[in-house]
């Protein structure tokens, strides 16, 4: 057997995985030791904005969560469900695929749309419209142009 070629885990590695210094210290506290690369990678995914909404949760919590027409609270299940009268309901789902779309624009955007539809279907509803609010950087930069082309294609196809 060969000795592990795994790198010594430092904050720089954690930072490259998208973790803050505070998060890196918390991981070490939870484990009681420095994590190995696989463990650190798992934490970085689970604590990412995509999975945990660590940056946007503060704002999401300000949205209304109660009401006489609210049938299923968003976050309680896969999508929110609102009574619109006459025995009908409207399912709402919002998906953020910023990181996956930044890595691979077409596939990141396509899986984002797929996740929205999946969550609407699991509520027993059927999609009748899909709206996309896209935000990108400077439209003159080649990297931004590549992202826009890939994301728009991924959403549309």
- Bridge partners (DSSP) of residue 74 are 77
What residues contact 74, with CB distance under 8 A and at least 6 apart? 63, 65, 80, 92, 94
Residue 50 annotated as catalytic: yes
Distance CA 115, CA 108 (A): 11
Which of 50, 99, 117, 143 is an active site residue? 50
Residue 2 annotated as catalytic: no
Which of 2, 97, 99, 143 is an active site residue? 97
Query: Which tokens belong to 152?
Result: 């728009």
Whether the Cβ atoms of residue 49 and residue 24 lie closer than 8 Å to each other? no
Instruction: Spell out the SS3 assignment of 57-87.
Output: HHHHCCCCCCCCCEEECECCECCEEEEEECC
In a 13 Å sphere around the CA of 43, the CA atoms on its Cβ side amount to 25
Residues that are catalytic = 50, 97
């Amino acid at each position: 057997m060969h000795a592990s070629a795994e790198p010594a885990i430092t904050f720089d590695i954690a930072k490259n995985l998208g973790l803050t210094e505070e998060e890196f210290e918390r991981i070490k506290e939870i484990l009681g030791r420095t994590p190995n690369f696989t463990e650190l990678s798992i934490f970085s995914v689970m604590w990412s904005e995509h999975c945990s909404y660590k940056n946007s949760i503060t704002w999401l919590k300000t949205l209304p969560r109660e009401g006489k027409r609210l049938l299923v609270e968003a976050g309680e299940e896969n999508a929110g469900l609102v009574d619109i009268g006459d025995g009908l309901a409207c399912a709402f789902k919002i998906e953020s695929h910023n990181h996956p779309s930044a890595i691979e624009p077409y596939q990141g955007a396509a899986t984002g749309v797929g996740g929205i539809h999946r969550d609407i279907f699991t509520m027993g509803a059927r999609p009748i419209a899909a709206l996309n609010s896209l935000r990108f950087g400077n439209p003159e930069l080649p990297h931004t142009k590549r992202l826009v082309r890939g994301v728009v294609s991924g959403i549309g196809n």
